[in-house]
């Protein structure tokens, strides 16, 4: 299964996808299509999307980009959501909703996020890095990114919120003593 790439996704070179087709939305975000561009901070070029799977679906005559597809500079697209994926292992394309009972989350106003930390200068994923999340309500959550650079999942049952993620400015020795002894 591969997730569709949408506006707001990233590449493994640190590029952020800003272009998308508004007539097809995934989780409210415009889908990125073959031939659309993004700026690659590692290669310092405007890079075009190349679809590996052609013709399974087209939007305005162009193929959608999925996680793992590459761009003309060689960067790979990284998913940020598993809400819509395609599965072609059966020989025919099927679409799977991998988030169970999504309507329960929406109706219950449950908001949840997990963040991938990426070095903006090098485009490298920051795995095994201690972080601190400052929430709007003043709470602070600490953790270590997983092998794919993701933070722990944070949730809020009331509403979406603004957060700040800090990775360099706190006492690492204290953090390790409190969490790994």
pLDDT value of residue 82:
43
Compute φ and ψ for 149, nearest 5 degrees.
85, 10
Give residue 69's pLDDT.
Answer: 92
| Burial of 147 per CB tally in 10 Å (0-12, 13-18, 19+) | exposed
54, 82 Cβ separation under 8 angstroms: no
- Alpha carbon distance 49, 73 (integer Å): 9
pLDDT greater at residue 48 or residue 146: 48
Instruction: Tell me how far apart the alpha carbons of residues 140 and 111 are, in angstroms, rounded to a whole number.
Output: 17
Q: Reduced to 3 states, what is the DSSP secondary structure of residue 172?
A: helix
Does residue 3 carry a pLDDT above 50? yes
pLDDT of residue 155: 66
Report the mean per-residue pLDDT for the chain.
74
Q: What is the pLDDT of residues 77-125, one digit of tens each?
A: 987 654 444 444 444 433 333 333 333 334 444 455 677 777 766 777 7
Q: Kindly state the DSSP code that residue 103 receives in the 8-state scheme.
A: H
Round to whole Å and give the CA distance between 80 and 15.
Answer: 13
Q: Tell me the Cα Rg of the chain.
A: 18
Structure tokens at 109: 């106003």
Identify whether the C-beta of residue 20 lies closer than 8 Å to the C-beta of residue 7.
Answer: yes
In the block, residue with structure tokens 């809400």 = 83
For 120-133, write each residue's pLDDT tens digit. 667 777 788 888 88
């Amino acid at each position: 299964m591969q997730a569709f790439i949408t506006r707001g996704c990233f590449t493994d070179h640190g590029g952020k996808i800003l272009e998308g087709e508004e007539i097809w939305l995934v989780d409210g975000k415009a889908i990125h299509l073959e031939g659309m561009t993004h700026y690659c901070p590692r290669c310092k070029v405007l890079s075009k999307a190349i679809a590996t799977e052609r013709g399974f679906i087209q939007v305005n005559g162009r193929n959608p980009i999925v996680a793992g597809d590459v761009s003309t500079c060689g960067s790979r697209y990284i998913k940020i959501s598993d809400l819509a994926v395609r599965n072609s292992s059966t020989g025919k394309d099927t679409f799977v909703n991998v988030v169970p009972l999504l309507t329960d989350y929406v109706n219950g106003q449950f908001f949840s996020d997990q963040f991938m930390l990426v070095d903006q200068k090098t485009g490298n994923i920051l795995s095994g890095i201690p972080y601190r999340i400052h929430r709007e309500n003043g709470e602070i959550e600490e953790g270590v990114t997983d092998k794919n650079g993701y933070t722990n999942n944070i949730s809020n049952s009331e509403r979406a919120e603004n957060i700040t993620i800090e990775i360099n400015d706190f006492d690492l020795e204290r953090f390790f003593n409190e969490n790994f002894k």
